Structure 1
Amino acid sequence: MAETSLRTDPTTTASAPPDLPPLTDQAERLVDLGLVPTDPADGTLDAATLRRRAADLTGSGAPGALLVVHPRHLPPSALAPHLLRTVRTRGGEVERPGFVVEDMTDVDAFAPVPDLDLPDADVWAVLAPDRGDDLANASPEEAVVALAARSRTPLTLGEGAQWVLQSPGVLEPGRCFMTIGSRVRRADGSDDARTPALWISGGTGRDGAGRRGAAKIGWCWWRNRHTWLGFASAAARRA
């Protein structure tokens, strides 16, 4: 990739996302939400296996890590309604489910980019996740170079969605993120120009006022910049 001029937002600093609960607690949340069944069909990840893997990863030392379930078991479309955010309205506080933008009907087709070192496992831990606030106002094309220079790996859409599920406070007004570890591969082998992102709906346009403040899975363009979108990344993954 050609070197680009990185123009980040000078008003931001390196992000300090909210603390994640222990991996075993993250596993229980997925089970409690019904996302991992206790009595699965053949080939489906079961709750007992998830709990065991969370305990194993905890024992191997992964403080502050994010527990991730492979998208073959938890695709982004299934995660979206469970990305709950508490929103203050005139009538009091309400909990609103997340959603996928209407023009992203192929959300589950956003797969890991070819050079991403993703574990061949049903469950893994994402170490030291970071929202990448200091890269706000960079384009995805620029940010992927910057992350590589820092020896950090970009999060996939599935990883980013599971981060929001486990820690809703990671999405803040004006401080949200792209997940450039996922792209759609065209039939000719090239990448679709869209890059997935998670942010907070303003309740305008096709989102509808009833979704104001909800977590939103959408997309941006590979060469576009947004001052309110950082680039989520990790130090490493451990399976």
Structure 2
Amino acid sequence: MPAALPPLEAQADHLVALGLVPDGGTPAAPDGTPDGLDAAGLRSAARRLADAAPPGTLLVVHPRRLPPSALAPHLRREVRTRAGVVEREGFVVEDMTDVDAFGPVDDLEVPDADVYLVHAPERGDEMANASPQEAAARIAERGRSPLTLAEGAQWVLQDPEVLEPGRCFMTIGSRRRRPDGAYDARTPALWISGGTGRDGAGRRGATKIGWCWWRNRHTWLGVASTAARHV
């Protein structure tokens, strides 16, 4: 099972150490605006939020500041090969160039804050072999909320062992709108690449951001959820 998440301040330090949040200087948001989140702001938010955060809480930077495309290369895993143990970067599948356009579904409320908390994230192993459509109803019945792609990716970033062979997860809290206003049939997921097809053998064992069809079932993909979000 996944290890417990580190304290919030340690999670903030990890984001800064990876260079995902600038440490000093003039920060900039992904859209180029000069009012992005910097290391001091992130650490201050982590300290403030820690007062009300139970163990196992995930610190999340809003995707407007840290989109999934920026996270993907930092989702690193150690892989054993014939040449020894190597570290492989995460990646987004080639046919998901629109990965950052997958936003929260209509009935999901994500805090309008640069930094917020996700309480008690679960991988949703018990919903393996349920389609996203089926899992959405089961999650709601439990009084929980499905994780977004940004939340799921940041969870894996803080604890790479959340992904295990045969035990990975979908993030059905994120979907993409088509021009006609309907949802795209894809739903995002994170799993471990087998190094086949377009992934390439060099990516075997790497963390992969991809997608599944809304009505399809996969025996090796749970559906991740959270007990609550908090600012």
TM-score range, shorter chain: over 0.9
| Distance across 1 between alignment mates of 2:11 and 2:152 | 14
Shift of 1:114: 1.2
SS in structure 2 at match of 1:48: helix
Among 134, 144, 149, the residue aligned to 2:141: 149
| Distance across 1 between alignment mates of 2:218 and 2:82 | 30
Among 81, 86, 97, the residue aligned to 1:105: 97
| Distance across 2 between alignment mates of 1:26 and 1:220 | 29
- 2:4 corresponding residue in structure 1: 19
TM-score by length of 1: 0.92
| Distance across 1 between alignment mates of 2:205 and 2:193 | 5
> Which amino acid letter does the alignment assign opposite residue 16 of structure 2?
V
Among 97, 113, 122, the residue aligned to 2:114: 122
The alignment of Structure 1 onto Structure 2 pairs a total of residues equal to: 224
Q: Does 1:92 align with 2:77?
A: no
| Distance across 2 between alignment mates of 1:90 and 1:124 | 42
Q: Any idea what the Cα deviations from partners look like across 1:25-65, whole Å, max 9, x if unmatched?
A: 00000000000002213211011010011111111233210
- 1:211 corresponding residue in structure 2: 203
Aligned-residue CA RMSD (Å): 0.8
Unmatched segments (≥5 aa) in structure 1: 1-15
Unmatched segments (≥5 aa) in structure 2: 29-33
Among 165, 184, 197, the residue aligned to 1:192: 184
- 2:22 corresponding residue in structure 1: 37
- 2:160 corresponding residue in structure 1: 168
| Distance across 1 between alignment mates of 2:106 and 2:112 | 13
Shift of 1:215: 0.1
Percent identity among equivalent residues? Answer: 73
SS in structure 2 at match of 1:151: coil
SS in structure 1 at match of 2:112: coil
| Distance across 1 between alignment mates of 2:131 and 2:53 | 34
